[in-house]
Amino acid sequence: MKAKATGWKLFLKTVIARAYPRIVAQQRERSWIFFDVFLSLLAVSAYVFIYRAIKAPEEYIGFVVLGGAMTAFWLNVLWSMSTQFYWEKETGNLPLYIISPAPKMAILLGMALGGIVGTSLRAATIILVGGILFKVRFSVANGLLLVLVFSLTLVALYGLGMMNASLFLLWGREAWHLASLAQEPIYLLSGFYFPIKSLGFWVAAVASLIPLTLGLDAMRQLLFPSGASLGFLDVRMESAILGVMSIVFIIAARLLLDYMEKIAIREGKLLEIQQ
């Protein structure tokens, strides 16, 4: 009989196993395509027309399309990863995850990656369809740097999401509502639809703690001709900061998950069903 996998092999197995329900379920119940992809395109379009109504420069339309696409990843992190422990606790799966040797970060990563199909479809639809419909002119200054910035943004964002998920080990509905509370302020402070520089240096600096802020700012600078003049910091500096954030958030997520698990076990909150 083959020995059971441990270490990074177990990590990988867990990621694949937890991603599986997501990937399969999205094939078996396809109603999400209408609600998650098509409707979100309409919602993003509303912001385009707001800018048209107030006669914004055309590149702002591009900002909205880009921001709308990145919204997909933010919502994936917030609702299909961070808060998922809440549902797992309520359905009785969380204790089974905890008593298994599977790493919690692998379970969370599996959840996130499992949803990436839908997320990517949503983001791609907004970029492609939105770009064509609203005649957005993307002008890629540095393709490799763009890919790097995008990747680092996602890694840091998912790390932040894992830190957030740890709250759900200890709390239930309070954490759920706090996640809901975070949604709009993050849209505001990350500059989804406008350059973050508009909020002033210090607000932008504090907002830069959210990976999306610098990620979006850097992507705008790399995708639009006027992006550089509207950027907060130099792209390379923003990339470096995102790199550091990625490492710090992943490590912090690991520590926070272990710490919160210990507290939850001590206080009996892992099993407490918060009605």
Whole-number Å distance between alpha carbons of 68 and 56:
17
Which of the ranges 100-108, 212-220, 240-248, 249-257 carries the binding residues for another protein, by CB under 8 A? 100-108
199 interacts with another protein by CB under 8 A: yes
What is the per-residue binding string for another protein in 109-128, x denoting contact by CB under 8 A?
Answer: ------x-------------
Yes or no: say if 16 and 110 are a contact pair by the CB < 8 Å rule: yes
Asked whether the beta carbons of 199 and 216 are under 8 A apart, the reply is no
Query: If binding is defined by CB under 8 A, does position 150 make contact with another protein?
Result: no
Size of the site for another protein (CB under 8 A): 85
If we measure between CA atoms, which residue out of 126, 149, 115 comes closest to residue 231? 149
* Orientation angle between helical segments 104-114 and 235-267, nearest 10 degrees: 120
Q: Which is nearer to another protein, 14 or 246 (CB)?
A: 14
Query: Measured between alpha carbons, how far is 169 from 61 in angstroms, rounded to an integer?
Result: 40
Q: In Å, how far from its chain's centre is CA 92?
A: 25
- Restricting to residues 21-80, name those near another protein by CB under 8 A: 21-22, 24-25, 28-29, 31-32, 35-36, 38-40, 42-43, 45-47, 49-57, 60, 75, 79-80
Asked if 237 interacts with another protein (CB under 8 A), we say no
Q: Does 97 bind another protein (CB under 8 A)?
A: yes
Which one, 50 or 244, has the nearer CB to another protein?
Answer: 50
Contacts made by residues 102-105, CB under 8 angstroms, sequence distance 24+: 102/10, 102/14, 102/17, 103/10, 103/11, 103/14, 104/257, 104/261, 105/11, 105/162, 105/253, 105/254, 105/257
Please give the residues from 156 up to 195 whose contact with another protein meets the rule CB under 8 A.
Answer: 173-174, 176-178, 180-181, 184-185, 187-188, 192-195
Smaller CB distance to another protein: residue 90 or 145? 90
* Footprint (CB under 8 A) of another protein, residues 4-23: 4-6, 9-10, 13-14, 16-18, 20-22
